[in-house]
Amino acid sequence: MIPHPRGAIWLLLLLLTTCAAPRGTGDLGLVIERSRGSVLIIEHSSDSVLHRIAGLGDLSHASVVYSRDGLYGYVFGRDGGLSKVDLLRGKLDKRIKQAGNSIGGAISQDGRLIAVSNYEPGGVRIFRASDLSSVVDLPAIDATGRPSRVVGLVDAPGQRFVFSLMDADEIWVVDASAPQEPTVTKFTGVGRQPYDALITPDGRHYVAGLFGEDGLVHLDLWNLDLGTKRILSGYGRGKRKLPVYKMPHLEGWAIAGEQAFLPAVGAHELLVVDTRTWQETGRVALLGQPVFAMAEPGGRHIWVNFAFPDNDRIQVVDSQSQQVVQDLAPGKGVLHMEFTPRGEKVWVSLRDEDRVEILRTSDFSRIGSLRAAQPSGIFFTVRSALIGL
Amino acid sequence: MCIDPKIRTLFMALLLVSGICGVRTVGAGEDAPSLARRGELIQLLERECGSCHGATLAGGMGPSLLPEILSERDTEGIINVILDGRPGTAMPPWRPFLSEGEARWLATRLQAKDPE
């Protein structure tokens, strides 16, 4: 049968559009637009915006993890919203409101579970990554029956999740191999007021920052029987603590070779730690209170942004010399930095200027800029393959 | 636009008198912030205070600053916390960045059930 000529043209058009070259997700990412409750789906090969997805609720401090195929981004909103975004189709796949006040999330080693940490009600809730249906609730109730806010939630090898109880000074290691009946190992009295945590890229060491005392607490996930140990305790000793206008983040780990670079609290410094011994090996003086210290892929340079009133600045630290090698003033309200997978470019969000700046890491020059409404976090799909991110 | 010169003179005189006699608008302090500065203060509240207290100020790492919590409190106490922080906690002092008038304006705004 010969189709009507006009029909044939339509058929041809249809074929042409559906046969557009397939595209991967390895160069995609999400930029949070905090004021609008929306996210931008972007690509960083030629630095452009592909879609905007709105209606995701309160996204101040939102964070993202990715499915292992890099197709879906799971967005954790401040208001307890959990949204699953389809990066290729450019649409919201599913959204639930899972708590009142949430702080972050993680994806399990096998990619099947999403864990969300909450302030209100304090605890961790675990969902199926496929349809966001609920699997299990872990209320953060301490040994004396008091509820606590949860911070520093990360995934760890062995289908585990690790997190800290801010108001109870505990660290919990949850084995979710049998997700409905997870086994929980609790460490108590770990140090006063953990506020955030990181896991090293090899998935071995969990380190939580303490607000209530100088120092951090370390847990070796290969040797849980050794228990938790304070590290760098008293790094501010003998010095007046400077006020902190924004809490530092540890989750954007800066591990370069054998060294970890961690933001100090109440001091304008990065602390340098040997990750074999967890002893302090140096300090880097900075211009203000650091918020994020993020290592470029490869670890040569550490990029640092700052709390108010220095949140218009970035300093770049050389990991070999432990010296500041570059001072940058990209614009007002620097909130986050994200590197392309091999580190030739960095995207910088400028909340107060409604744009994202794109810089070349080799010479710190500006490559371009994109409009975004009060951009905060930037998350590239390369995270889907990294432990703890 | 053309304004009758008599009315203009009267208006100017009124302005002058209100300035000299320190006539106040309700809720404003000695050094009440200008309209432009108020805009900046609202941004500061949402962005910087919001980084600990939540963008909607409903609470985060720091407690809720919504009127349900603060409206019945002593305003002077709130002003003191804003200017000098709470030693031993994460609440920092804002005195380096805010005048007393600005802190008062912020405190009053936080307590108001229906600001503006």
3-state secondary structure A191-246: CCCEEEEEECCCCCEEEEEECCCCCEEEEECCCHHHCEEEECCCCCCCCCCCCCCC
Residues A210-232, mean pLDDT to the nearest whole number: 94
Output the CA torsion sign for B114, B89, A35, A85.
Answer: negative
Cβ atoms A203, A388 nearer than 8 A: yes
Q: What is the pLDDT of residue A258?
A: 87
Residues B34-39, mean pLDDT to the nearest whole number: 92
- Please state which CATH class domain B5-111 belongs to: mainly alpha
Burial class (CB in 10 A: 0-12, 13-18, 19+), B19: exposed
Tokens encoding A342: 């091999």
Q: What is the CA radius of gyration of chain A?
A: 22
Of A56-70, A134-148, A244-258, which range is least confident?
A244-258
pLDDT confidence tier of residue A100, bands split at 50, 70 and 90: confident
Asked if the structure places residue A156 within a domain, the reply is yes
Q: What is the pLDDT of residue A16?
A: 52
Distance from CA of B111 to the nearest CA of A (A): 22
Distance from CA of A221 to the nearest CA of B (A): 27
Q: What is the CA radius of gyration of chain B?
A: 18
How many beta-carbon contacts under 8 Å exist across A and B? Answer: 47
Partner A contacted by B11 (CB < 8 A) = no
In this predicted structure, the answer to whether residue B16 has a pLDDT above a threshold of 60 is no
In this predicted structure, the answer to whether residue A180 has a pLDDT above a threshold of 80 is yes
CA-wise closest residue to A139 among A157, A163, A159, A156: A163
In this predicted structure, the answer to whether residue B25 has a pLDDT above a threshold of 50 is no
User: Which secondary-structure segment (H or E) carries A18?
Assistant: helix A5-18
Q: What is the pLDDT of residue B30?
A: 59
Q: What is the pLDDT of residue B20?
A: 38
Residues A21-33, mean pLDDT to the nearest whole number: 95
Domain that holds residue A146: 98-246
Asked if the structure places residue A82 within a domain, the reply is no
Partner A contacted by B47 (CB < 8 A) = yes
Of A196-210, A247-261, A375-389, which range is least confident?
A247-261
In this predicted structure, the answer to whether residue A240 has a pLDDT above a threshold of 80 is no
Task: Look at chain A and count its residues.
Answer: 389
Residue A319 CA to residue A322 CA, distance in Å, equals 5
Phi and psi of A251, rounded to 5°? -65, -30
Confidence check on the interface: ipTM exceeds 0.95, yes or no: no
In this predicted structure, the answer to whether residue A237 has a pLDDT above a threshold of 50 is yes
In this predicted structure, the answer to whether residue A247 has a pLDDT above a threshold of 70 is yes
CB contact under 8 A, B93 and A119: no
Residues A40-62, mean pLDDT to the nearest whole number: 94
Q: Which amino acid is at A108?
A: S
Output the CA torsion sign for A227, A232, A235, A237.
Answer: positive
With a pLDDT cut of 90, the percent of chain A lying above it is 77
Residue B92 CA to residue B84 CA, distance in Å, equals 7
* Residue B46 per-residue DSSP state: I
Of A218-227, A357-366, B51-60, which range is least confident?
B51-60
Residue A133 CA to residue A126 CA, distance in Å, equals 9
Asked if the structure places residue A258 within a domain, the reply is no
pLDDT confidence tier of residue A310, bands split at 50, 70 and 90: very high
Q: What is the pLDDT of residue A1?
A: 45
Q: Which amino acid is at A279?
A: Q
Cβ atoms A174, A218 nearer than 8 A: no
When CB atoms are compared, the residue of A60, A103, A243 closest to B55 is A60
| Residues sharing a CB contact under 8 Å with residue A209, sequence separation 6 or more, in sequence order | A194, A195, A196, A197, A216, A248, A250, A262, A263, A265
Residue A366 CA to residue A356 CA, distance in Å, equals 11
CATH of the domain at A120: 2.130.10.10
Q: What is the pLDDT of residue B10?
A: 47
In this predicted structure, the answer to whether residue A88 has a pLDDT above a threshold of 70 is yes
Query: A9 in helix, strand or coil?
Result: helix
Q: Which amino acid is at A189?
A: G
pLDDT confidence tier of residue A58, bands split at 50, 70 and 90: confident
Can you give the residue ranges of every domain in chain B?
A: 5-111
Tokens encoding A72: 């879906």
Mutation to test the A interface, candidates B47, B48, B66, most A Cβ within 10 Å: B47
Question: For residue A89, how far is the Cα from the chain centroid?
Answer: 24
Q: What pTM did the predictor assign? A: 0.89
CB contact under 8 A, B55 and A352: no
CB contact under 8 A, A78 and B85: no
Residues A243-253, mean pLDDT to the nearest whole number: 83
**Structural domains of chain A, count:** 1
For residue A119, the chain B residues in CB contact (below 8 A) are 59-61
Range from A113-122, A167-176, B86-95 that averages highest in pLDDT: A167-176
Of A247-251, A290-294, B59-63, B106-110, which range is least confident?
A247-251
Asked if the structure places residue A387 within a domain, the reply is no
In this predicted structure, the answer to whether residue B26 has a pLDDT above a threshold of 50 is no
User: Which secondary-structure segment (H or E) carries B8?
Assistant: helix B5-21
The residue with greater pLDDT, B29 or A155, is A155
Tokens encoding A18: 């559906």
pLDDT confidence tier of residue A120, bands split at 50, 70 and 90: confident
CA-wise closest residue to A44 among A339, A351, A373, A362: A339
Q: What is the pLDDT of residue B12?
A: 45
Residues A327-334, mean pLDDT to the nearest whole number: 97
Residues A322-333, mean pLDDT to the nearest whole number: 97
CA distances from B84 to A52, A60, B89, B93 (A): 42, 26, 12, 4
For residue A149, the chain B residues in CB contact (below 8 A) are 61
pLDDT confidence tier of residue B114, bands split at 50, 70 and 90: confident
**DSSP β-ladder status, A113-120 and A375-380:** unpaired
When CB atoms are compared, the residue of B54, B90, B93 closest to A60 is B54
Cβ atoms A211, A247 nearer than 8 A: yes
CA-wise closest residue to A249 among A354, A335, A122, A148: A335
